[in-house]
Structure 1
Amino acid sequence: MAQKATNSTLAETTVVDTDVHMTVPEEEVAQYMDEPYASSITDSPHPIFPSSSWDQRMGGKIKDNFSEFTDAEDIFQFQREFDIDHPIINTFEPLGKFSQPDLAMELMRAYNRLLLDKYIDDHDFLGLAAVATQKPHEAAEEIDKMGQENQVVGLYVGSSGEHPPLGDPKYDPIYQAAEDNGLPIAFHGNAEEFMFDFPMQNRGFNKFFEVHSVAHTWQQMMTLTSIIAEGAPEKFPDLNWVFLEAGYGWVPYMMHRMNKIYHMRRSEVPLLQQTPEEYIRDSFYFANQPLGEPNDSEDMAKMLEIMGTDNIMFATDYPHWDFDALDELDKYLQHYFTEEDRRKVLYDTPVEAFQLDL
């Protein structure tokens, strides 16, 4: 554990950060790939990683640390500067966007080899293993392998690009393997790959302001609805479901909306034995980032109260250019909630969600 710098409100509290990103250049992940896939990345004259054309730069207004956050020392420095005791790191492209299934599966294995080799084997970091969903049975084999690693504490599934949506029974082998290995599924939103989920809406927008306002949330709304409607929490009762990088302001609306439709159309969801809200409160967890900024701070307190601290986890999303400042959530926790509730968000709830042995 890195020595704390004691320069924030988190200094005297044990903190789990549930969403910390490492940058993996394409040429680096290629070193962990077999042929012909490695050469297809390093020798291709065209970008092999599909992407959108949105310009996400801030014109010098915010320094872009993301491309420089590439090794273990960067994590140690982050822990010292931000007073983070246990960062949960991920290193991956959202693999669902790749139209070549074999390439996606090879990237999954390569990212996981890199995670173990560079961050896990010689350090005490916690990490999420990559999962590509194009071939669920093949992904399940990789989950069984990664499940043997004690410092791998969850499975990273990008909620951008998968077809059909992620609750479809097609993905049951993935969720069965996750449950068997005691690894929660962590769905991660993404703005850059928004075009793969909602191409027509994406095409109609004129500014990245519009895309960045809705992209993560729309993906996670679709994923949450699909998971609930297809009965995945009932089929896999011991599996925890984590949602990263979409905040949680959208969740109360979705649980109440699904409750209403559940009572009107129960014949369409025969697997469900409880209301959607009951499933969500029992085994679903949501990272706070991006938190949102209400004009009236009491509105955020009300939102936190509705959600409950048993389902909210702290995350910075560092080093993305739009990561949350350290006190952005903590100022609400300290002002409106008890120290016990604050501890839940910063430590107890992520420990429960990821079944951490700390």
Structure 2
Amino acid sequence: MAYNLISGDNHIDLTYCPPDLWSSAAPGKWKLLAPRTEELDDGLHWFVEAQDKGMWNGVGPGFLKYQQGSFKHVDEMRAHGFEWDYRRGAKPRPTTPELRIADLDRDGLDAEVVYGCLMINEMINDPNLRGWCDGIYNDWVADFARRADPNRVFPLAIIPNHDPQAAAAEVRRCARLGLKGGDLAFKRMTPPLWHRDWDALWQASAECRFPISFHSTGFKALRAADTPQMEKEYFTEVRLVRSALFQLDTMEVLVSILASGACERFPDFKFVLGESGVTWLPYVFDRLDTEYEDRAKSLGFKMKPSDYFRRQGFVTYQQDQFLEPIVPLIGEDTIIWGADYPHPDCLWPESRRILDENLANFSPAVRRKITKENVQRLYGLN
């Protein structure tokens, strides 16, 4: 299939998954802990570890009810025909094959890379339950892609983050399923990302040509409100701080991966900073290279840390009006555009118009790299 425009960063959130995906298969010890739905007065709710997370088929990863005026773009999505219906039997657009394909067509996209169930590994305390839930989703999403269109929908696996050996095994299993890469949640992972035990995962990734992504889920060091009353009173301010800093979440990931020496030891290993934006990267590169020369030369890298990113790293973004002067500093072969469908801040269904505006000053060759060629090369989408 010939591709003209590919989103390298779309989503299937937990809220849109089949309501019995995990509960129908959960062993007795996990029946009440695995993600499950329960019908309440206002519709189906998701429960994870017996805690009410919010609506099934709600708005985005927050399981929210639709409320007019809460998000400007969500109102625009609704005006374009996107609906959120919490009643049993409803058809969520992102996980109903024909509706998802219709939404790709509406946005003018030929194909998409799909991140799944962000934060599920942050919601579950039991590491064994975490790994089991990851595997159930990976089986389901591989089948979903086949039912939707395997030449247009390319899901990423959820990689277990509690055990490097389990993560490596799941990479090899998912590669056999036909998945093209995986997402690793880094906030509750153990051991830390810079630890050598993760070499088992980097080796499996390199062997299987299975890139590992680290998708932002919100700035980790965000200062929380002191009390629930304060959080309620300052809801809009807190939400603005959280959303404005959201894409800086993977700064630590970038430095940890490069400092770990993973790219030195596994030159075929590829990694992605998902929904991280682009324009902050040169500062971190400069700082990291300077500190390496000053106090970490004993690591024995053959190149500057930032050069390993240019050789093996990628970053996805939605829109950035300061992109043009930054591209030469990080490399035009490392940048991947994404529409972020169906999140509240996604570009759907205006992706082509927004891209035409944001990339107007780029050459056709660079535009092709950012909007299709880099993601094709990374995931082998031929």
Coarse TM-score class (shorter-chain normalised) = 0.7 to 0.9
Name the residue aligned to 1:142.
170
Q: With structure 2 as the length reference, what TM-score do the two structures score?
A: 0.77
Alignment of 1:57-206 (within 5 A): 59=70, 61-63=72-74, 65=82, 68=92, 69-97=94-122, 98-120=124-146, 123-124=149-150, 125-150=153-178, 152-191=179-218, 194=219, 197-198=220-221, 201-203=223-225, 206=234
Name the residue aligned to 1:21.
11
Unaligned stretches of 5+ in structure 2?
39-45, 55-61, 85-91
Report the 3-state secondary structure (helix = DSSP H, G, I; strand = E; otherwise coil) of the residue aligned with 2:139: helix
- In structure 2, relative to structure 1, the CA distance for the partners of 1:308 and 1:211 (3 Å cut) is same
Moved over 4 A (4+): 43-47, 49-52, 54-58, 64-67, 203-206
Whole-angstrom CA distance in 2 between matches of 1:241 and 1:271: 21
Is it true that 1:275 corresponds to 2:268 in the alignment?
Answer: no
Whole-angstrom CA distance in 1 between matches of 2:346 and 2:37: 34
Is it true that 1:353 corresponds to 2:378 in the alignment?
Answer: yes
Name the residue aligned to 2:58.
none
- In structure 2, relative to structure 1, the CA distance for the partners of 1:60 and 1:94 (3 Å cut) is closer
Q: With structure 1 as the length reference, what TM-score do the two structures score?
A: 0.82
Alpha-carbon contact 2:163-2:190 (below 8 Å) kept: no
Further displaced range: 301-310 or 220-229: 301-310
2:331 to 308, 329, 333: 308
Is it true that 1:210 corresponds to 2:241 in the alignment?
Answer: yes
CA root-mean-square deviation: 2.9
| CA shift for structure 1 position 223 | 0.5
Alignment of 1:221-260 (within 5 A): 221-260=251-290
Report the 3-state secondary structure (helix = DSSP H, G, I; strand = E; otherwise coil) of the residue aligned with 1:87: strand
How many percent of aligned residue pairs carry the same amino acid? Answer: 21
Alpha-carbon contact 2:320-2:358 (below 8 Å) kept: no
| CA shift for structure 1 position 134 | 0.4
| CA shift for structure 1 position 233 | 0.7
Report the 3-state secondary structure (helix = DSSP H, G, I; strand = E; otherwise coil) of the residue aligned with 1:153: coil
Report the 3-state secondary structure (helix = DSSP H, G, I; strand = E; otherwise coil) of the residue aligned with 1:76: helix
| CA shift for structure 1 position 29 | 2.8
2:26 to 30, 34, 38: 34
| CA shift for structure 1 position 239 | 0.9
| CA shift for structure 1 position 344 | 0.9
Report the 3-state secondary structure (helix = DSSP H, G, I; strand = E; otherwise coil) of the residue aligned with 2:95: coil
| CA shift for structure 1 position 50 | 9.0
Aligned-partner residue type, residue 162 of structure 1: M
